[in-house]
């Protein structure tokens, strides 16, 4: 089961009995056989309409709707709202207050590390893990999440299968960064009953439901392509304003790419979804970019200490990194080290650490951002608009400096599992 996305022109939509607002816009529909009784297909079709996100060349964007104006008004009102232990206007939060979290992941090795970090944190309650394509096919991603939860003896956390490809076109990822299966291609004892352990509800529906049941209490941590999130806001336009915080690992801020010349992996795999999320999610949004992660790399000596801890989680992590070139000091000399200083980087863990303990992030850039959708070299690149030339109505927090000591401690604790929570 999965959400199928269909692009239609005005001519095609008229044939299907649907009407678009303008010839310059596209329509996204969700097939009846997937959603079933969750909602009528007519409602889903109308809810999934792209409002000026995918524009044809030379066509103007539509004017801001009344609904959009209300969303902006709500976001401005609540953006500076002060929680217990939280300074007004400051994206740091009380460390030990219980936080409800949904993790959206394309579970590769660094995602596994981030999930373990959340599992080990005493202040985190994970409502569910939603899976998306990215580091591996979504089927492998689901199996990887189930494996991580099993290692940490936390199989009770629900896991949901989500989107298997981007909103537009096919996935063009040929990355073997973490091996073909996402966990280093070293696991031989695959679980033949893994599908039976997944929830039947689609990840996007589950995300909407869990957030609606816990309005303004849930922090969503997105570690892969943002496809599930983009579909969630199209099916429920009020979804973002029900979130407490959104944390994203993805994007770049200096035009340095790691999949294409100028774009970061997660955004490059689904630029349209990244664009939608950064345009439509008006909740406090915190981005751990590729450059932020790499600039706060840890030493390879720390990596050895981390992996050599005497605990099931550490032994599991040592196994899956053992043959993966992404965890090879020599392999990185002609890749990441060309741009940044040498060191070990667990990309997704930086976003998760910010969610667990906001004081890990010591400095952020608050500014509007936009994702480039055109071109062959820059498509998927995130641009920071620090002088607001785009006249956007809302900003995000782009992390820039990290308390490496605190981050290191969270990593160490993440591999001392299973633990009792």
- Domain with 24 in it: 6-47
CATH number at residue 140: 3.90.245.10
The answer to whether residue 71 sits within a structural domain is no
The answer to whether residue 53 sits within a structural domain is no
The answer to whether residue 72 sits within a structural domain is no
The answer to whether residue 183 sits within a structural domain is yes
- pLDDT tens per residue, range 238-277: 999 999 999 999 999 998 888 888 999 999 999 999 999 9
Q: Are both 43 and 107 inside the same structural domain? A: no
Please list, in sequence order, all residues whose beta carbon lies within 8 angstroms of the beta carbon of residue 412, skipping any fewer than 6 positions away: 305, 306, 309
Q: DSSP per residue over 59-98, as a string?
A: PPPPPPPHHHHHHHHHHHHHHTPPPTT--TT-S---TTS-
CA angle, 405 as apex, 401 and 408 as ends, to 5°? 100
Residue 331: its pLDDT value, please?
A: 59
% of residues, the chain, pLDDT over 70: 71
How large is the greatest C-alpha to C-alpha distance in the chain, in angstroms?
A: 63
Number of domains in the chain: 2
The answer to whether residue 75 sits within a structural domain is no
Residue 56: its pLDDT value, please?
A: 35
Peptide bond into 124 cis (omega under 30): no
- pLDDT tens per residue, range 117-137: 999 999 999 999 999 999 999
Residue 328: its pLDDT value, please?
A: 64
Q: Are both 41 and 111 inside the same structural domain? A: no
Q: Are both 157 and 21 inside the same structural domain? A: no
């Amino acid at each position: 089961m999965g959400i199928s996305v269909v692009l239609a022109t005005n001519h095609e939509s008229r044939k299907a009995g649907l009407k678009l607002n303008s010839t310059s816009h596209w329509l996204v529909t969700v097939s009846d056989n997937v959603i079933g009784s969750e909602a009528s297909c007519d409602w889903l079709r109308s809810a999934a309409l792209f409002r000026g996100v995918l524009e044809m060349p030379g066509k103007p964007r539509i004017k801001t709707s009344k609904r959009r104006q209300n969303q902006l008004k709500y976001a401005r009102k609540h953006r500076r709202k002060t929680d217990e232990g939280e300074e007004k206007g400051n994206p740091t939060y009380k460390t030990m207050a219980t936080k409800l979290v949904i993790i959206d992941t394309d579970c590769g090795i660094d995602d596994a590390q981030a999930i373990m970090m959340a599992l080990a944190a005493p202040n985190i309650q994970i409502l569910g893990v939603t899976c998306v394509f990215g580091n591996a096919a979504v089927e492998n991603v689901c199996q990887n999440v189930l494996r991580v939860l099993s290692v940490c003896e936390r199989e009770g956390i629900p896991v949901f299968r989500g989107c298997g490809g981007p909103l537009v076109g096919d996935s063009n990822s040929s990355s073997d960064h973490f091996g073909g299966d996402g966990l280093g291609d070293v696991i031989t004892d695959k679980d033949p009953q893994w599908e039976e352990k997944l929830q039947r509800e689609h990840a996007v529906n589950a995300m909407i439901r869990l957030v609606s049941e816990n309005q303004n209490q849930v922090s969503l941590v997105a570690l892969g392509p943002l496809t599930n999130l983009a579909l969630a806001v199209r099916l429920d336009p009020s979804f973002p304003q029900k979130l407490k915080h959104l944390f994203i690992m993805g994007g770049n801020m200096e035009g340095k790419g790691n999949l294409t010349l100028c774009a970061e992996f997660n955004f490059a795999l689904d630029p349209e979804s990244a664009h939608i999320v950064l345009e439509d999610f008006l909740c406090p949004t915190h981005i751990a970019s590729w450059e932020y992660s790499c600039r706060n790399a840890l030493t390879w000596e720390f990596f050895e200490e981390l992996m050599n801890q005497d605990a099931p989680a550490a032994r599991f992590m040592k196994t899956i990194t053992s043959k993966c070139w992404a965890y090879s000091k020599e392999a990185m000399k002609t890749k990441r080290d060309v741009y940044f200083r040498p060191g070990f980087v667990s990309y997704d863990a930086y976003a998760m650490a910010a969610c667990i303990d906001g004081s890990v992030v010591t400095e952020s850039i608050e500014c509007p951002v936009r994702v480039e959708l055109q071109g062959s070299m820059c498509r998927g690149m995130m641009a920071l608009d620090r002088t607001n030339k785009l006249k956007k109505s809302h900003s995000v927090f782009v992390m820039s400096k990290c308390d490496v000591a605190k981050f290191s401690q969270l990593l160490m604790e993440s591999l001392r599992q299973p633990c009792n929570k």
